[in-house]
C-alpha cells in the first residue's frame, strides 16, 4: 500500500494506492490491476471520495477478455474495513477515529465507580460516534470495549443501563442506532470548552445514528 502523505488529520485527504500485494482476505485485487483511492477524514470517519481502477499496460490485460476477467475477480466489498485496518495499524499509520471525538476521561467505566449523568451522556455520545464512523462489518461493541479497557460483556451491560432520559436506543441491542435526548445534549455542552462545544455542534456523528450514511 502506498499513500501520498504521512498525516490524516481532520478534513485531510489521502490518495491510497493498492494492488495484488495488498490482498489480505478482506479484498482481492487481481494481477495487472491497481487502485487509486481518494479518501478524506470526515469528522473521524474514513470517507471514500473516488476509486480509480488502473490496468497495467500489457497485451493480455488490455484485451477485452483480459479486462473482463480481471474486473470479475476484483473484490472490494470490504474496502472500507481494509482501509480502516491498514490506517489504524500503529506500526504504519496509527489513525484513530477517536482522535476526532470529544476530550473526556472514561476511566470511571473501567474502575466501576459511581456513574454520573454526564458520564452516561458522554458514554452514549461515544457509542453513537462509533456507530457512525466504524465500518459496518466491524463490531462496534468490541471496538469500544477495547478503547475503554473493559470486556465486551461489560460494555453491553453499560449500554443497557444508560438512563432513558439521556439516550434512546433504536432497534435491538445488537444493531446500531440510538439518539441523545435534548437534556443530554445540553448537559454535554455545559461541560465542554468553547472549542469542544463547536466540535459537538459541527460534527454530524455525536448526537444520533439513524442507520443511514450521513457522509
pLDDT tens by residue, 170-207 = 877 778 989 999 999 999 999 999 999 999 999 999 99
Residue 136 domain-assigned (yes or no): yes
Q: Which residues contact 62 (CB under 8 A, 6 or more apart)?
A: 55
Q: What local confidence, expressed as pLDDT, does residue 66 receive?
A: 58
Mean model confidence pLDDT for the chain: 90
Would you say residue 96 lies in a domain?
no
191 and 167 in a single domain? The answer is: yes
Same domain for 129 and 196?
A: yes
Instruction: With cut-offs at 50, 70 and 90, classify the pLDDT of residue 211.
Output: low
Q: State whether 68 and 126 are in the same domain.
A: no
User: Is the domain of 202 the same as that of 107?
Assistant: yes
Q: Which of the listed residues 61, 88, 115 is the one where a domain comes to its end?
A: 88
10 Å CB burial of residue 215 (0-12, 13-18, 19+) is: middle
Q: Judge whether 95 lies within some domain.
A: no
Comparing C-alpha atoms, which of 32, 40, 22, 130 is closest to residue 76? 22
Contact predicate 100/203, CB 8 Å: yes
For residues 60 and 139, state if they share a domain: no
Residue 110 lies in a domain: yes
- What is the model's pTM? 0.89
Same domain, 80 and 119: no
| Confidence band, pLDDT 50/70/90 cuts, at residue 213 | very low
Look at 58 and 23; give whichever has higher pLDDT.
23
The domain in which residue 42 lies consists of 2-88
Give the pLDDT confidence score for residue 50 in this predicted structure.
Answer: 97
Decide if 146 is inside a domain.
Answer: yes
What distance in Å separates the CA atoms of residue 104 and residue 116, rounded to the nearest whole number?
A: 13
Q: Do residues 126 and 83 share a domain?
A: no
Domain identity same for 23 and 57: yes
Tell me, yes or no, whether 106 and 200 share the same domain.
yes
pLDDT tier, 67 (very low <50, low <70, confident <90, very high otherwise): low
Compute the average pLDDT of residues 141-150. Answer: 95
Asked if residue 215 belongs to a domain, the reply is: no
Report the distance separating Cα 109 and Cα 149, nearest Å.
9
- Are residues 74 and 113 both part of a single domain? no
Rounded to an integer, what distance in angstroms lies between the CA atom of residue 10 and that of residue 197?
16
Residue at which a domain ends, from 64, 88, 112: 88
Lowest pLDDT segment from 30-44, 53-67, 81-95, 116-130: 53-67
How many Cα neighbours within 13 Å face the side chain of 24? Answer: 11
Query: Left, alpha or beta for 152 (phi > 0: left; psi -120 to 50: alpha)?
Result: alpha
Split into its structural domains, the chain has a count of: 2
Amino acid at each position: 500500500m502506498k499513500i501520498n502523505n504521512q498525516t490524516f488529520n481532520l478534513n485531510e485527504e489521502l490518495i491510497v494506492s493498492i494492488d495484488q500485494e495488498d490482498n489480505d482476505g478482506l479484498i482481492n485485487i487481481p494481477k495487472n490491476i491497481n487502485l487509486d483511492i481518494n479518501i478524506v477524514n470526515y469528522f473521524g470517519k474514513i470517507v471514500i471520495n473516488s476509486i480509480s481502477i488502473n490496468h497495467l499496460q500489457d497485451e493480455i490485460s488490455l484485451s477485452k477478455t483480459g479486462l473482463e476477467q480481471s474486473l470479475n475477480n476484483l473484490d472490494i466489498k470490504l474496502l472500507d474495513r481494509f482501509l480502516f485496518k491498514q490506517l489504524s495499524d500503529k506500526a504504519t499509520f496509527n489513525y484513530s477515529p477517536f482522535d476526532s471525538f470529544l476530550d473526556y476521561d472514561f476511566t470511571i467505566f473501567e474502575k466501576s465507580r459511581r456513574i454520573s449523568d454526564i458520564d452516561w451522556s458522554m458514554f452514549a455520545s461515544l457509542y453513537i460516534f462509533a456507530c457512525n464512523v466504524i465500518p459496518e462489518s466491524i463490531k462496534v461493541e468490541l471496538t469500544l470495549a477495547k478503547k475503554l479497557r473493559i470486556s465486551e460483556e461489560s460494555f453491553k451491560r453499560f449500554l443497557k443501563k444508560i438512563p432513558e432520559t439521556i439516550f434512546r436506543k433504536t432497534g435491538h441491542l445488537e444493531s446500531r442506532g440510538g439518539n441523545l435526548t435534548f437534556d443530554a445534549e445540553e448537559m454535554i455542552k455545559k461541560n465542554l470548552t468553547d472549542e469542544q462545544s463547536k466540535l459537538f455542534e459541527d460534527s454530524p456523528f455525536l448526537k444520533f445514528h439513524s442507520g443511514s450514511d450521513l457522509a
